[in-house]
Structure 1
Amino acid sequence: MTLSWVQIVRIGLVQMCLGAVVVLTTSTLNRLMVVELALPAVLPGLLVALHYGIQITRPNWGYLSDTSGHRTRWIIGGMAMLASGGYLAALGVVLMETQFGLGLALSIFAYALIGAGVGASGTSLLALLATATAPRQRAAAATITWLMMIGGIAVTASIVGAFLDPYSPALLLRMVGIVTLGALLLTALAIHGIETRVGAEPARAEAPMRFREGLAEIWDEREARHFTIFVFLSMTAYFIQELILEPYAGLVFHFTPGQSTRLSGAQNGGVFLGMLTVGLAATGLRLGSIRHWVVAGCLGSASALAGIALLGATGAAAAFVPIVIALGFFNGMFAVGAIGAMMALAGQGRATREGTRMGLWGAAQAIAAGGGGLLGATAVDMMRSLSQTDATAFGTVFVFEAGLFVLSALMALRVINHGRDRGALLVRGE
C-alpha cells in the first residue's frame, strides 16, 4: 500500500515543524548575537556550522531507521531532540548577556543537539516518504512536503517577528518555547499510525553499510558525481547569505529584531512562491523543462543578490524587502529540481537502503550549508575590518555569492542536460 494524499500532507506537517524550529536558530538568534550582543558574525556562523556538521551523521541515522523496522520512533525522537536544542539555544543567547562563557557552552551543546535532531527526524521522514510513495507521486509528494516546510519557516518567522517587538529576553524564551513545544506535539499527532497503515516498516538489513563505502558507491556513478558537485556548489551559494542577511538589515537599514525576523519570513515566502510556480508550470501547464527553471533560478538569484548589494551602497531602503522576496523566489525555483532528483535517487542501488542513501545526500547538502553559512559570516567579518562602511563589506560578499550562482547556472546547463533532463520528468511525474 502506498501513501494517500492526506498522509503525504501529514508528513508535510512534520517537515513544516522541522523548518519552524530551525529558522529561529538560523535567523532570530543569529541576528540577536550579531546586533544586540555586538558579537562577531563568525560566532553564530560557527554554531550554525556545528549543527550542519553534526548532520554528517545522517547516513547513520538513515541506516538505523532502515534496520530498526520502525522509522516513526526516529522521527518523533529526533523532533524531541530538535525542540530541546532550539529552546536551549535561545536560553544560551539570553545567558550570553550576563554570563558569556556559560551561555556559549550551552549554545554549543544546543546546536549540536539541533543537528542530531534534524538528522534523525529529517532523514527518517524522507526515507519513509521515498519508500511509501508511488513512483508517479514522488515529484508531487516532494513538492508538497517542501512547500509545507518553507511555509512553516515563513509563517513562524513572520509571527515570531510580529510578537518579538519590543524585544526582551523573557519574551524570546516564551516565543521559542511555544514554537518548539508545538512542533513536537504536532509531529507526534501527524505521524502517528502512518507507517503501520501503509506497511512501510523497513526490512532488517543483513549487514551495515559504512559511510565511506556508501559514498564511494555513489561517487563511482558519473552522473551522480557531477550532480553532487552541482548541489554542493549551488547550496553553498544558497546558504552564504543565511547568516548575514538579517545583520545586514539591522546594521545598514536599521531594522529592529522583529523587523529583521519578519524579513526572513518574507524571504521564505518568496521561496514558497518560487517552488509553487515551478510546480504548477512544469506539472500542470508543462511549460519548460526543469533545466530551464534551474538555470533561471540561479541567474535570478545572482541578479537579486547584486541588487541587494547595490541597495546598501545607495541607501535605497524602500526596495530592500521586495528584492529579498525576489531572491527567495528564484532560490525556490532551482531548489525544486534538487528535491525531485534526490527523491528518485533514494530508491536506486541496493534494496532497503533508502534511508542510508537519503542520509548520504543529506550529509552532502549539510556540509555545503554549514560551509556556506560559515564562509559568509567569516567573509563579512574580514571585510568589515578592511572596509570603511558595513554596506561595502556586506555588499562585497553578496556579489561573490552572486558569482557562485552564475557558476551554478553554467554547471546546471551541462549536468542536467547530460542527465537527459531527468529533472523535468521527475517534476511532471512521468
Structure 2
Amino acid sequence: MTLGWLAIVRLGLVQMALGAVVVLTTSTLNRLMVVEYALPAVIPGLLVALHYGIQITRPNWGFLSDTGGRRSFWIVVGMAALALGALGATVGVILVEQSFAVAMTLSALAYALIGVGVGASGTSLLALLATATAPERRAAAATITWLMMIAGIALTAATAGAFLDPYSPARLLQIVGIVCVGAVALTVLAIWGIERRTGPEPVPTPDRRQPFIEGLSEIWAEAPARNFTIFVFLSMTAYFMQELILEPYAGLVFGFTPGQSTMLSGAQNGGVFLGMLTVGIAASGFRLGSLRTWVAAGCLGSSASLVAIALAGRFGAADALLPATVALGVFNGMFAVAAIGSMMALAGTGRRAREGTRMGLWGAAQAVAAGFGGLVGAASVDVVRLVSPSDASAFGSVFLAEALLFASAAVLALRVIAPGRAGASAMIPGE
C-alpha cells in the first residue's frame, strides 16, 4: 500500500517541525552571537559547520533504516535529539557573558546533537517518502513536504522575531522551548501509524547482513547517483554561504534590530516557499519547462539576487534589501524544489532497497556543503572586514563570490540533469 495525499501531508508536518527548530539555531542564535554578544562570525560558523559535519553520518542512518524496517522510530528519536540540542544551544548563547568556556563547550555538544537529530530524523523521513510513495506522486510529494518545511521556517522566523523584541535571555529561552516541545509533539502525532499501514517491503536477507561500507560503495558506483552528489555539493555550498551572514549584515550595515533581522530571514524563506510553489504548479500542473531548466533558472536568479543584495549595502539602499532578499528566496526555492524532484525519483532507481542509502548520500553531500559554505562565508567576512574600508564592502564581496558559485552550479546542472519533461527527473548517465 502506498501513501495517500493525507499521509504525505502528515509527513510534511514532520518536515515543518524540522525547519521550525533548525531556523532558530542557524539564524536567530547566529545573529545574537555576532551582534548582541559581539563574537566573531566564525564562531557561530564553526558551530553550525559542526552540526552539518555530524550529518556526514546520514548514509549510515539511511542504511540503518533500509535494513531495520523502523523508519518511524528513527524519525521520532531524531526529532527529540534535535529539540534537546536546540535547547542546549540556546542556553549556551545565554551563558556567553558569564563564562565563555562553558558556553562554547555546551554549544559544541548541543550543535553536535542537532546534527545527529537532523541526520536521523530527516534521512529516515525522506527514505519513507521514497519507498512508500507511488512513482507518479514522488515529485508532488517532494514539493508538498518541502513547501511545508519552508512554511515552518518562515512562520517560526517571523513569529519568533515578533515576540523576541525587546530581547531578553528569558524571552529567548521561552520561545525556543515552546517551539521545541511543539515540534516533538507534532512529529509523534504526524507519524503515528503511517509506516505500519504502508507495510514497507522488507529488505532481502543478504542485504541485511551486508556491511555499510559495501552498500555505500555500490551506490557510489552508480554514475547518475555519483554525478548528482557532485551537483548537490556545489549548489548547496552556494546556497548556504549567505545563511550565517545575512542577518549580521542587516544588523551591522543597516542597523536592523534582532526582531527585524529575524523577520528578514522569515521573508527570505517566504520567498523560498513562493518559488517552490511556482515550480510545483508550473512543472507538475501545467508541464511547463524541464527540471534542468528550472534548476538552472533558479541558480542564475539566485546569483543575480546576491549581486543586488551586495549593491544595496554598497550604496546604502536599505529599502532594496528586503525585495532583493525575497527574490533570493524565490530563486532558491525554484532551484531547490526542482533538484528535490530529481532526488526523489532517482532514489528509486538502481539497486533495490537502497532508497535510504541514496538519500543519505545526498543528504550527507548537502550537509557537508552547508557546513563548508556557512563556515567559508562567515570566516571570509571576518577576514575581509580586517582589510575592508567598511562592513558593507566586506559582506558585499562575499555575496559576490557566492553569486559566482551559483552561476557555476547552473552550468553544472545543464550537464548533469537531462532535458526531459518536468517531473521525469531523468539524469544523464555515465557523465
TM-score range, shorter chain: over 0.9
Equivalent position amino acid for 1:145 in 2: T
Residues 74-113 of structure 1 mapped to structure 2, 5 A cutoff: 74-113=74-113
Q: Contact 1:17/1:152 (CA < 8 Å) preserved in 2?
A: yes
Q: Contact 2:306/2:403 (CA < 8 Å) preserved in 1?
A: yes
Equivalent position amino acid for 1:252 in 2: V
Change (3 A) 1:208 1:331: farther
Q: Does 1:40 find its partner at 2:40?
A: yes
Q: Contact 1:70/1:201 (CA < 8 Å) preserved in 2?
A: no
The match for 2:412 is 411
Change (3 A) 1:223 1:131: closer
Q: Contact 1:71/1:201 (CA < 8 Å) preserved in 2?
A: no
Residues 130-279 of structure 1 mapped to structure 2, 5 A cutoff: 130-200=130-200, 202-203=202-203, 205-206=205-206, 207-210=208-211, 212-279=213-280
Cα deviation 1:228-280 (Å, max 9, x = unaligned): 22221111000000000000000000111111111111000000000000110
Residue 244 of structure 2 aligns to a residue whose secondary structure is: coil
Q: How far, CA to CA, are the matches of 1:388 and 1:208 in structure 2?
A: 60
The match for 1:384 is 385
Cα deviation 1:157-185 (Å, max 9, x = unaligned): 00000000000000000000000000000
Q: How far, CA to CA, are the matches of 1:18 and 1:318 in structure 2?
A: 32
Q: How far, CA to CA, are the matches of 1:144 and 1:378 in structure 2?
A: 35
Cα deviation 1:53-79 (Å, max 9, x = unaligned): 100111111122122222111110110
Q: How far, CA to CA, are the matches of 1:210 and 1:47 in structure 2?
A: 31
Cα deviation 1:388-420 (Å, max 9, x = unaligned): 21001000000000011111111222222xx34
Q: How far, CA to CA, are the matches of 1:293 and 1:67 in structure 2?
A: 35
Q: Contact 1:341/1:423 (CA < 8 Å) preserved in 2?
A: no
Q: Contact 2:287/2:421 (CA < 8 Å) preserved in 1?
A: no
Q: How far, CA to CA, are the matches of 1:202 and 1:222 in structure 2?
A: 26
What's the CA shift for 1:214?
Answer: 4.2
Change (3 A) 1:123 1:422: farther
Q: Give the paired residue count.
A: 425
Q: Contact 2:252/2:391 (CA < 8 Å) preserved in 1?
A: yes
What's the CA shift for 1:208?
Answer: 4.9
Q: Contact 2:63/2:212 (CA < 8 Å) preserved in 1?
A: no
The match for 1:59 is 59
Change (3 A) 1:258 1:424: same
What's the CA shift for 1:287?
Answer: 1.7
Equivalent position amino acid for 1:381 in 2: D
Q: Contact 2:291/2:419 (CA < 8 Å) preserved in 1?
A: no
Q: How far, CA to CA, are the matches of 2:420 and 2:88 in structure 1?
A: 44
Q: Contact 1:56/1:363 (CA < 8 Å) preserved in 2?
A: yes
Q: Contact 2:284/2:422 (CA < 8 Å) preserved in 1?
A: no
Query: Once structures 1 and 2 are overlaid, which stretch shifts more, 227-236 or 183-192?
Result: 227-236
Q: How far, CA to CA, are the matches of 1:252 and 1:118 in structure 2?
A: 32
Q: How far, CA to CA, are the matches of 1:307 and 1:116 in structure 2?
A: 36
Q: Contact 1:76/1:188 (CA < 8 Å) preserved in 2?
A: yes
Residue 351 of structure 1 aligns to a residue whose secondary structure is: coil
Q: Contact 1:78/1:120 (CA < 8 Å) preserved in 2?
A: yes
The match for 1:27 is 27
What's the CA shift for 1:215?
Answer: 4.4
Unaligned runs of 5+ in 2: 427-431
Q: What's the TM-score once normalised by structure 1's chain length?
A: 0.96
The match for 2:301 is 300
Q: How far, CA to CA, are the matches of 1:232 and 1:203 in structure 2?
A: 29
What's the CA shift for 1:212?
Answer: 4.4
Residue 349 of structure 2 aligns to a residue whose secondary structure is: coil
Q: Does 1:425 find its partner at 2:424?
A: yes
Cα deviation 1:336-364 (Å, max 9, x = unaligned): 12101111222223322221221111111
Residue 256 of structure 2 aligns to a residue whose secondary structure is: coil
Equivalent position amino acid for 1:394 in 2: F
Residue 289 of structure 2 aligns to a residue whose secondary structure is: coil
Q: How far, CA to CA, are the matches of 1:420 and 1:305 in structure 2?
A: 27
Equivalent position amino acid for 1:255 in 2: F
Equivalent position amino acid for 1:118 in 2: V
Q: Contact 2:229/2:361 (CA < 8 Å) preserved in 1?
A: no
Residue 425 of structure 1 aligns to a residue whose secondary structure is: coil
Q: Percent identity?
A: 71
The match for 1:335 is 336
Q: How far, CA to CA, are the matches of 1:132 and 1:387 in structure 2?
A: 53
Residue 365 of structure 2 aligns to a residue whose secondary structure is: helix
Q: How far, CA to CA, are the matches of 2:73 and 2:201 in structure 1?
A: 11
Change (3 A) 1:221 1:350: closer
Q: How far, CA to CA, are the matches of 2:226 and 2:125 in structure 1?
A: 25
Q: How far, CA to CA, are the matches of 1:133 and 1:321 in structure 2?
A: 38
Q: How far, CA to CA, are the matches of 1:124 and 1:341 in structure 2?
A: 18
Residue 421 of structure 1 aligns to a residue whose secondary structure is: coil
Equivalent position amino acid for 1:273 in 2: L
Change (3 A) 1:227 1:59: closer
Q: How far, CA to CA, are the matches of 1:208 and 1:57 in structure 2?
A: 19
Query: Once structures 1 and 2 are overlaid, which stretch shifts more, 350-359 or 164-173?
Result: 350-359
Residue 314 of structure 2 aligns to a residue whose secondary structure is: helix
Q: How far, CA to CA, are the matches of 1:172 and 1:321 in structure 2?
A: 24
Cα deviation 1:281-303 (Å, max 9, x = unaligned): 11112222222211111111111
Q: How far, CA to CA, are the matches of 2:289 and 2:344 in structure 1?
A: 21
